[in-house]
Amino acid sequence: MQPTTPFPLKPFNTFGLDVHARSGVILSSEHELDALRQNAWWSDSMPRLLIGEGSNILFTTDFDGLVIINRLKGITVQETEDSWLLHVAAGENWHQLIQWTLQHQMPGMENLALIPGTVGAAPVQNIGAYGVEFCQFCTYVDTWHFADGHRERYSAEQCQFGYRDSVFKHALHDQVIITAVGLQIPKQWKPVVAYGPLKVLGDNGSAEQIFDTVCTLRQSKLPEPSVLGNAGSFFKNPVVSAIQANELKNTYPMMPCFEAPDGQRKLAAGWLIEQAGLKGFSLGAAGVHREQALVLVNLGQASAAEILALAKYVADVVRQKFAIQLEPEVRFMGASGEINSLRAIQ
């Protein structure tokens, strides 16, 4: 397996930024992982980055290292009395996996439909939508370690899942390649329709109806990356104290507010940005999407600097108006690896 040098990254980041890596390879088999370390060009000191579909990454500059594009494929299923147990290769497309489960009469993950990216990216961010999170189904994550090439399986508990968070963003950051995940889908299905737009379906809504509704909602709000480069939701929904949420509610009675762990409250970042008057706002060729204020878009030939400047401006305006600090959900990549996204926009 020989790398391409330099390696163009424009096809592998949904913002469509014209950036490059020093070198890159496309991984199609786990056997190729061991071959990586045996090549003369391999260096343990070389920065490395694993990319699925590049749907949650903002390259702030060219990447001065090796990029590995994960295209590992395969789905196997075991069945127990009360669950379906799936082993899914990390390079599988996430939305296509959701479609596959429904086609095979395995409902449960339909709320997570149309989230961009690969299966391997799901545990890193602990993706979630419409009242459901990846961690509710995950039983394990399989990895390959850069340091010595050994394989290791991490239980769901060891993954330390949190809100858009996991051990793969901390202790295991830049240490492993996720090769597969284990998922457990209970056979006793219950619809999750507490989230506003899904309430109309009621408890009698089918998994297919939820899937179709979620897809319609997402397609109505999220631009197609091939038309307007973007990475989906740019900011996390902020979690604040109940006291602060109640104070804001007194001023903004229509503000969306949801319960969060430890008595806290989760607010809607998109609503905050829209109320700050920023929907449709642009700086250079970077803009806030006209239909969904939570999405920052490449209006044409935007540079990373323009998108960074826009993100900082949006965060500044929201902080001044609501006394809330927005934090990016998108991962920021510098020349040698991931950088602190919150620090980058402060």
Is 282 considered catalytic here?
no
Q: Which of 14, 101, 106, 96 is nearest to 51 (CA)?
A: 14
Q: Which of 331, 205, 234 is nearest to 292 (CA)?
A: 234
Calculate the dihedral angle through the C-alpha atoms of 324, 330, 110, 228, rounding to the nearest 10 degrees. Answer: 110
Of the candidates 83, 166, 233, 341, the residue annotated as catalytic is 233
75 burial (CB, 10 Å; 0-12 / 13-18 / 19+) is middle
C-alpha distances in angstroms, 231 versus 16, 73, 174, 224?
A: 10, 23, 21, 10
Is 164 considered catalytic here?
yes
Of the candidates 166, 329, 331, 341, the residue annotated as catalytic is 329
Q: Which two tokens stand for residue 186?
A: 């209970």
Of the candidates 53, 55, 164, 166, the residue annotated as catalytic is 164
CA distance 292 to 302: 19
SS3 content of the chain, % helix, strand, coil (to 5): 30, 30, 40
Pairing of strands 128-129, 132-133: antiparallel
Contacts made by residues 200-208, CB under 8 angstroms, sequence distance 24+: 207/102, 207/107, 207/108, 207/110, 208/102, 208/110
Q: Which of 269, 300, 330, 291 is nearest to 121 (CA)?
A: 330
Q: Which of 98, 92, 93, 100 is nearest to 110 (CA)?
A: 98
CA distance 323 to 315: 10
CA distance 176 to 333: 17
Catalytic machinery residues: 164, 233, 329
